[in-house]
Every structure is written in C-alpha cells, then in structure tokens.
Homo-oligomer: A and B are copies of this chain.
Amino acid sequence: MKKLINDPDEVVADALLGIDAAHPELRVDHEHKVIYRAEPKADGKVALVSGGGSGHEPLHGGFVGPGMLDAACAGEVFTSPVPDQMMAATTEVDRGAGVLHIVKNYTGDVMNFDMAAELADDDDVRVETVVTDDDVAVTDSLYTAGRRGVGVTVLLEKIVGAAAEEGTDLDGVKAIAERVNAGGRSMGLALTSCVVPSAGEPTFELGDDEYELGVGIHGEPGRERRPMAPAAELAEHLLAPILDDHDYTDGPTIAFLNGMGGSPLLELYLMYGEVRRLLDDAGIAVARSLVGNYITSLEMAGCSLTLLAVDDDLLRLWDAPVSTPGLRWGA
C-alpha cells in the first residue's frame, strides 16, 4: 500500500486537520470528528446533519455550508460514525426548528443514527430521518438490508439544503427528502478496487480484462464480474437497470455521472457523453447535469450513474445558491 498518509489508523483524524486548515468557512470539532459551518444558520430554520464512513470525499464534509448541510460526522474509513458524533452534531446545529438526519442505507449507518436519534429525543431536539436507498444493483426486499444509498445522497443534500435554507419546516423538509429519494436511482461499476488504509491491501482483485458491475461505494465487491467493454457498452450496463426500475420519460431529470475517485475526469466526461446519447435515444430529457468526483470510494477507478426525476420545484431548489467546498454556485 502506498498512500499519502502517516499512521493508517489515524487517517481520518489527520485529514480533518487539513480540512480545517483549508477551509476557514468550516469549523472542525476534532474530538467528535464533526465538520460544521463556521457561521451557523439563522434561528428557526431546520438543520441538516449527515455523516458516514470516511473515504467518500467530498461527501459529506465537503457539502457542509450555506445551502446544504449544517454538520457532517466523519466515521473511520468506510465505517459509519458513532452515535456520540451524531448527538453532538444534532445538539449543536439545532436552531429550534428540528434536525433532519440524512442517512445512507447501510446497516451500520442506520443503526448508529437510530441510536443517536433515540438518545437525542431525550434532549428535546426534534429529529427526523431520511434514509437514501437508490442503488438498483441491490435487489430490494423486506427480508434483506435493502438497497444501498449512493449517488442520490449528493443530490438530496443539495436540494433539501436549499429547502431548509428557504425556511421550510421539518415535516416539509423531510417530505422533500423522501420525494427526492423516491425519484432517484443509481448504478455503479468499478475497474479497480480501493485500498482501505487500515487493511493495507486491495479489498478485491480484478483481472486486467474484467470489471465489477453494481459495485457500491465501500469497495465491497459488486453484483457481477464482467469482461471489460468499451465506454459505450458500459454506459448501457449502467443505464439499463435504472430504466428497468423507474420510468424517467414523463418529466425532466437531473443526470449525475459520478467518479469513484480513481478515474480521470476526462474519462468521466467521456462516459457522460455516452450516457447522454443513450438518454436522448430513450426520450429522457436532462434538465441539469453533474459530472465529477462527488461520492467516491477512495482511489477506486470507475463511476456511477444517478438519475433523478425532478419537477419545477425541485429544479428551483437545485439551482438555489450553495456554497460548500464540494458544490458551489450562485453564491
């Protein structure tokens, strides 16, 4: 393993020092490993707390700021944060209007956020939770852990952040969050594994002529291993299961081509070109595009595609000003 790190078990703590130094507009609680806005939002507005394992940067810490999150809890690499972190963050950011927890659907994340919400209840902060589960690579079922939350989380944090900034109340914010999650579907693929620092070696091995289809963002192996194929074909393999699962033909969409961290931006744009060609063919209208590394899996090469059905209201919230290290416009 070669990485720009010191002690593999201190990667997150060390990286938070750099985030702190790089971003005067953020405040880092190093004890709890929570990233806050330096300037808290105004009283009476709903606050948003998210968090998850580290290694997905800029998600979530890079999405803290006006128009998006109020706090992000950084877990160890690929390990959900602990309830203490969410409790500290929740108490800290509440402005009297309650707090929405944005949780990606992984057993660990859900359990830790659950415990935090249970404990926060005692503290008289109203907490609601939205759990994202957009990954069509995983068969949804009542009897399993269900789908993973992946790319839609980025879009949701942006849209819901704008709603909270506008003054929407907690129930309203939660309803928008659920609408976004319901209209979002994602599919990912990996060309290489990532290397978890504390593990020291690649999580999985892939041959030079194969790729993992349906990979998640934790470097967990995907659903299927396939022979490597040109970008045009890979784009079909990403899009088909999304369109099988949800109809995107009767309204505008946001198309989000996300990099897993290790693929050059040039290739991500190339993939997006392929996706757009397919979307045109399928009669799906793209109102907004997002291309880049937003929810990553350390140095994994690969990408994921997320489609989100939107209406005028969601588009307005998407276009609203946002000012975070990871997403910034209109401000």
Contacts and interface: CB of A to CB of B under 8 A. Distances in A.
A200 B25 CA distance: 43
A100 B220 CA distance: 49
B266 A55 contact: yes
Bin the interface of chain A by size: 35 or more
Nearest to A211: B2
A5 B272 CA distance: 11
Given A265-B296, A296-B264, A6 B230 contact: yes
Nearest to A261: B264
A293 interface: yes
Given A3-B191, A4-B234, A231-B6, A22 B264 contact: no
A38 to B, nearest CB: 14
Contacts of A328: 328-329
B273 A18 contact: yes
B54 A273 contact: no
Classify the secondary structure of A's interface with B: mixed
A289 B22 contact: yes
Which one of A55, A58, A266, A286 has the greatest number of beta carbons of chain B within 10 Å? A266
Contact of A15 (B77, B228, B267, B296): B267
Nearest to A62: B265
A301 B2 contact: yes
A271 interface: yes
Number of copies: 2
Interface string A205-237: 000110100000000000000001011101000
Interface string A268-292: 1111111011000000001001110
Given A21-B289, A231-B5, A57 B264 contact: yes
Nearest to A272: B18
A22 B291 contact: yes
B269 A57 contact: yes
Most buried by B among A4, A21, A277: A4
B15 A273 contact: yes
A6 B232 contact: yes
B264 A299 contact: yes
Contacts of A3: 191, 263, 267
Given A264-B299, A265-B293, 10 more contacts: A4-B234, A4-B268, A15-B266, A16-B269, A18-B269, A18-B291, A22-B272, A55-B266, A328-B329, A330-B331
Interface of A: 1-7, 11-12, 14-23, 54-55, 57-58, 62, 77, 191-192, 194, 208-209, 211, 228, 230-232, 234, 257, 261-274, 276-277, 286, 289-291, 293, 296, 298-299, 301-303, 323, 328-331
Q: Which 7 pairs of residues, A with B, have the shortest CB-CB distance?
A: A18-B273, A17-B273, A18-B269, A18-B272, A4-B267, A57-B265, A21-B276
